[in-house]
Structure 1
Amino acid sequence: MDTAPPRDAAPLSYRDAVEADVQALVPLIDSAYRGDASRTGWTTEADLLEGQRTDPEGVLAVIAAPGSRLLLVEQGGETVACCQLEHRGEAAYFGMFAVRPELQGAGLGRQIIAEAERRARETWGVREMHMTVISVRDELIAWYERRGYRRTGKLSPFPYGDERFGVPQRADLAFELLVKELD
């Protein structure tokens, strides 16, 4: 999926998101996973879930929670991606990962996850990164496996009936825990 970024691409810059960023982050996150816009990229969940991926309250909660940060990624002064990092004891949790659909497949995701892992290791001294992925997302899970994550087989239920997470189009959705040892 990943190809090398264009030679003339501006470098990525990273900063912690603040409340003023919420209005830009919600459509970014939704566009990476839901609706027709998400079909431009390869991370779409549009065939699995309809509705929103997140809302302003959910994004603000990640920004404001103790031990949590929402890393905002900019390129050439534009917001192009984000990811959540949360300190959970001996591990960090990686979530809310979104790259603008038209930029997917150019290697940005690989760079961003490597930076997130580095920051989690250096900031919190954690030795593992955890994430949850919808278990039927084989292509996405394979992408994470190529980055060193392993499937654990540990499943947690999808929150059916809670439209804050979308409207399921299938009855077999669950989240699987993926884990990576950090050097």
Structure 2
Amino acid sequence: MDTAADRLTGTLNYREAVLDDVPALVPLVESAYRGDASRAGWTTEADLLQGQRTDPQGVADVITTPGSRLLVVEQDGALVACCQLEHRGEAAYFGMFAVRPELQGAGLGRRIIAEAERRVRELWDVREMHMTVISVREELIAWYERRGYRRTGRMTPFPYGDERFGLPQRDDLQFELLVKPLG
């Protein structure tokens, strides 16, 4: 039986995204979060949200905004994952984390988040990593808790009515802030 770990072979390369990467990054992010393609992985928002997760302008904004980086992960030259890193004072924000669904469950996410934490300490000398996760995504939150993140109980409303963030399938969505101290 072919497993995600069997498909994760070869050398990983981490680099900062450039605008030429946008056409490949948008479908990667979409496939990890929404639609039937996302169901190939162990985690998805497909039952919570339909529509888009991002668009070319949103990805380009992450790449070009001062104090922001979009970390691209390649395996033998093929795009396999990405994540957003943003400097916010004494903390960094971790977002837009996408791993190709067929590679989820192979330990790649653990490796990427560790590299992201290393990079923000080196780049910005920050003391904490922050992220927001839809609060009803208990399995995903548990995964982050196993990586050292803690729930804060601090909630932010979901932007209902703004289709740039998707089409909610429930009326109880909100974002919870997760925080991890960086040593």
Interval containing the TM-score (normalised by the shorter chain): over 0.9
Report the AA paired with residue 119 of structure 2. Answer: R
Partners of 2:112 and 2:10 in 1: CA distance: 14
Match of 1:116 in 2: 116
Give the aligned partner of residue 74 of structure 2.
Answer: 74
Using the alignment, how far apart are the partners of 1:8 and 1:154 within structure 2?
Answer: 36
Residue aligning to 1:144:
144
- Alignment deviations for residues 42-78 of structure 1 (CA, whole Å, 9 cap, x no partner): 1210000000100000000000000000000000110
Shift of the alpha carbon at 1:6? 4.4
Q: Which residue in the other structure is 2:130 paired with? A: 130
Tell me how far apart the structure 1 counterparts of residues 107 and 73 of structure 2 sit (CA, whole Å). Answer: 14
Aligned residue pairs, count = 181
Determine the C-alpha separation between the residues in 2 that align with 1:91 and 1:160. 27
Task: Tell me which moved more, 8-17 or 161-170.
Answer: 8-17
The 1-side partners of 2:79 and 2:20 are apart by 13
Offset of 1:26 from its aligned partner?
0.3
Report the CA distance shift for 1:76/1:148 in structure 2 as closer, same or farther (over 3 A).
Answer: same
Task: Tell me: CA distance 1:76–1:49, structure 2 relative to 1, closer, same or farther (3 Å).
Answer: same
Q: Does 1:83 align with 2:83?
A: yes
For residues 8 and 137 of structure 1, what CA distance do their matches in structure 2 show? 25
In the alignment, the residues of structure 2 paired with residue 162 and residue 59 of structure 1 have an alpha-carbon distance, to the nearest angstrom, of 17
Q: What whole-Å deviation, never above 9, does each CA across 1:111-149 have from its counterpart, x for those lacking one?
A: 000000000001100010000000000000000000000
Which consecutive residues of structure 1, in runs of 5 or more, have no partner in the other structure? none
- Asked whether the equivalents of residues 151 and 178 of structure 2 are also in contact (C-alpha less than 8 Å), the reply is yes
Distance 2:53 2:142 in 1: 22
**In the alignment, is residue 40 of structure 1 matched against residue 40 of structure 2?**
yes
Partners of 1:80 and 1:39 in 2: CA distance: 16
Q: Which residue of 2 aligns with 1:157?
A: 157
Amino acid at match of 1:109: G
SS at match of 2:136: coil
Classify 1:163/1:118 alpha carbon distance in 2 versus 1 (closer, same or farther; 3 Å): same
Aligned to 2:105: 105
Taking only aligned residues, the RMSD between alpha carbons, in angstroms, comes to 1.4
Aligned to 1:180: 180
C-alpha spacing 1:125/1:109, structure 2 compared with 1 (3 Å): same
CA distance in 2, matches of 1:142, 1:7: 25
Query: Do structure 1's residue 28 and structure 2's residue 28 form an aligned pair?
Result: yes
Distance in 1 of aligned mates of 2:127 and 2:105: 28
Partner of 2:95: 95
SS in 1 for 2:110: helix
Distance 2:12 2:51 in 1: 30
Q: CA deviation at 1:5?
A: 3.9
1:71 match: secondary structure: strand
